[in-house]
Chains A and B, each alone.
Chain A
Amino acid sequence: MTTMLSRTVLSALVAVLALVVPATAADTPGVTATEVKIGNTNPYSGPASAYGTIGKVIGAYFKKVNDEGGVNGRKINYITYDDAYSPPKTVEMVRKLVEQDQVAALFQTLGTPTNSAIHKYMNQQKVPHLFVATGATKWNDPKNFPWTMGWQPNYQTEGRIYAQYIMKNFPDAKIGILYQNDDYGKDYRKGLHDGLGEHAKKMIVMEQTYEVTDPTIDSQIVNLKNSGANVFFDVTIPKFAVQAIKKAHDIGWKPAHFLNNVSSSLATVLKPAGLEASKGLITALYMKEITDPQWKNDKGYQDWVAFMKKYYPDGALDDQGNAFGYTVAQAMVQVLKQCGNDLSRENILKQAENLKNAEFPLLLPGIKVNTGPNDHAPIEQEQLAKFDGERWATFGELYDASKK
C-alpha cells in the first residue's frame, strides 16, 4: 500500500518536473516552446513619467506581433516594471526580472542614471542588455561591457554634426550656447566643442546654462543676444525650446538657430512657439518627425497610425515617443527573428550584433541600422533639416558617425 502510494507520488513528481524543467533549463532562461520572456523598466511614475509611453507602446507592438502568431512560433512575454526613474528601484526591478522572472534579455530600459546603476550587474550576469533608451555615449563599449548595447545616435555625435556644418558654412561664426545643466546638456556641448576643435575658443563667444527646474530662460536669451552671437546652439528640452524660439523672435535676435533633435517636434515645440518664429531652424534627424505633414501619405506613417488606433488607442499621435518605441520594438523583433530556434542569451546577443543594413519604416529614408561585435551603436546616421515654415526639409547628405 505504502509502496504504491509512494510510487504514485513519485510519478506525479516526475510529471510535474517534466513540465517544469524545460521552462527553467539552465542554458536558455526565459524561453519555452511557446514563449520568450523579455524584461523592461520604464518610469511610469515620478519626474520622468512622460517617457513611460515608450514602455507602453512597446508592449502594444509586442501584442500585435503575438496576435499575428509571434516570432518563429513563440509569443513574446513582455514584462515591464515601473522604476519611477529612481536608480535603486531600477536595481531592484531588474534583479527581479533577471533572478525571479528569469527573462531571456533586458530591452529598452530607460534613462541614463537608471541604466548606469545596472550596467555592471547585467554584464556580470551575462544577460543581454539591449537597445537602452538613453543618448549617453558610454553604452557603446563592447570591450568592457559586451552585454550592453545602445540604440539612438548619442548626443555627442549630434553636437559634432552641427560643428561640422557651422565650420563649413559660417567661417565667421560667433556661437552662443544654451544648455541644460546636466549630463544631457553637457554631452551636446562636448560634442560641439570636440567637433570645432581648435576653432572652439575663437568661435564660441558665450555659454549659458539653465536648470530643468527653472521657470524661464528669458534672461539667458537676452544675454546671448547681447554677446553678439550670430549662431545659436540651443540644447533645451521642449518646454524651454518653445521659450527660446519665442523669446529670440520677440527681441528681434535672428541668429542661425541650431535646435537639438530632442525638441524637433512640430506639435510640442514649433507650433506652440509659432511657425513663423520657427522658420529657419536647423536640426539633425534620424526619425520621421511624426507631426510633420510631409509624412501624411507615407506608408510607414499610415501603418503606425493604424497600429496606434488598434493596439494603443490611449497613446497620443503627436508624441514622438510612441514612434520611437514602435521602431525600437521592431528592431527587437528583428533580432528575435534572426535567432531562429536558438534563444540562448549568447545567441540573442550575437544576433543583436548582427544587424546588417536593417531599415525600419519610421526611420528617415536611407538611415540603416548596423551593429557588430565591436559596434554597439545601432543608429549612427543623421541628416540635417531646415524648417521652412511648414515642414522639416532635409538637405545635404547623410552624416555617418561610424565613418568619421
Chain B
Amino acid sequence: MSARARASVVAVVLAAALALPFFVSNFRVFQFTQVAVYAIALLGLNMLTGYNGQISLGHGAFYALGAYTTAIMIDHWNVPYPLTIVAAGVLCLVAGFLFGIPALRLEGLYLALATFALALAIPQILKYFEHWTGGSQGIVLSKPDAPWGLKLSADQWLYFFTLAVLVVLFVLARNLLAGRIGRAIVAIRDNPIAAQAMGVNTALYKSLTFGVSAAYTGVAGALSAIVIAFVAPDAFNVFLSITFLTGIVIGGLASISGAIFGALFIQFVPNWAQDISKAAPWAIYGIFLIGFMYVMPFGIAGAIRLVAARAARRGTAARA
C-alpha cells in the first residue's frame, strides 16, 4: 500500500473512532474504551514478542503494577488521575528494564517460563501488601467526570481520554520501530549473532525493549483501573497474560495495527462465544482461535496486508 493510501486509511479510522461515541450507547462506548486499553497493552507486548522475539507469559503482572500504581496514588494521596498514568508508565519502565537484565540469560521458552512465574506470583504479592492494596477486597475508585464543563458522559470522556493516550503511544511506537532502533530490535530477533557483529548492543536493546514494553502495558493497566473504577487481585490472574499473548498472535505479530485487531478480538469474541453456547463458551472460543490461525496464519493484520498486496498487484496488471 502506498504511503498516501495508508495515511488516508488511518485518517478514516481515526475519524470513525472520534465519531463513534455519539452513535452508540454508553455501554458500547465503555466496551470500546476497553478495546483501546487492551490495544495499548497488546502493542507493548507486541514490541517485545513480535518485534524483538522475546516471549512473555507475564505481561499481566505489569498491567497489574500499572493498575495498582494508579489506584494507590488516587486512593491514598488523591493524585489527579492523568499524573498517575505517567507515574505508572515510568514505574513499569524501570521494573521492566530491571526484569529484562536477568532475563537476558534466558532464551525462548525459558524466558516464557520465568515471566509465567511473574504472572503466577502477582495476585499473591498484591494480597500480601494489604495495607496498600486493600488485599483481596481491592480498591474502589470513582469514575472521573468530563472536565472543563464538556457536555460528555463519564463514559464518553474516558473513551476520548483513552483514545488520546492510545494515539500518542501508537505514534511514538511507530517512530521508534520505523527507525534505527526498530531495525536493531528486529535484527536481534532475526539473528542475534549477526546483529551483534553489526555493532548492535544486544543486551542493552533487549533490556530497553523489555522496559518500554512493560511501560506500555503498565499505562494500559493504569487506564483500566480508571475505566473499571476498581482493582482487585482476581482481575490479574495468569489468564490475563495468556489473553494478551492470544491477542497479539491473532492481531498479527510485529504489526502496529495488529494490536487493535487483537484488542477487538479479545474484547468481543469471548462474548460472542457465550452468546452462541452458554454450555461450552470456551470450546467455541477455541474453535474461533483455531479457525483464525488456520485462515490467517499471520494474524488479522497479516491477512489484510496480503489482500491489499494482491489487490495492488491486480491493479498494476490491469493497467499494464
Contacts and interface: CB of A to CB of B under 8 A. Distances in A.
Q: Do A and B come from one complex?
A: yes
B295 to A, nearest CB: 25
A110 to B, nearest CB: 12
B144 interface: no
Nearest to A47: B237
B136 interface: yes
Contact of B274 (A81, A99, A120, A213): A81
Chain A interface helix/strand/loop/mixed? helix
Nearest to B128: A181
B140 A116 contact: yes
B260 to A, nearest CB: 19
Contacts of B142: 120
A117 to B, nearest CB: 4
A182 B136 contact: yes
Interface stretch (B12-20, B72-80, B227-235): B227-235
Contact of B135 (A45, A88, A182): A182
A99 B25 contact: yes
Interface residues of B, number: 29
Size bin of chain A's contact surface: 20 to 34
B53 interface: no
Given A45-B281, A87-B228, A87-B235, A96 B27 contact: yes
- Report whether over half of chain B's contact residues are helix, strand or loop; otherwise say mixed: helix
A281 to B, nearest CB: 27
Contact of B229 (A96, A120, A182, A213): A120
A113 B234 contact: yes
Contacts of B233: 113
Contacts of A116: 137-138, 140, 230, 232
B34 interface: yes
B232 A117 contact: yes
Nearest to B275: A81
B26 interface: yes
Given A116-B230, A183-B137, 5 more contacts: A47-B234, A87-B231, A99-B26, A113-B136, A116-B232
Interface of A: 44-47, 80-82, 84-88, 91-92, 95-96, 99-100, 111-114, 116-117, 119-121, 181-183, 186, 211, 213
Interface of B: 25-27, 30-31, 34, 124, 127, 135-138, 140, 142, 224, 228-235, 237, 239, 274, 278, 281-282
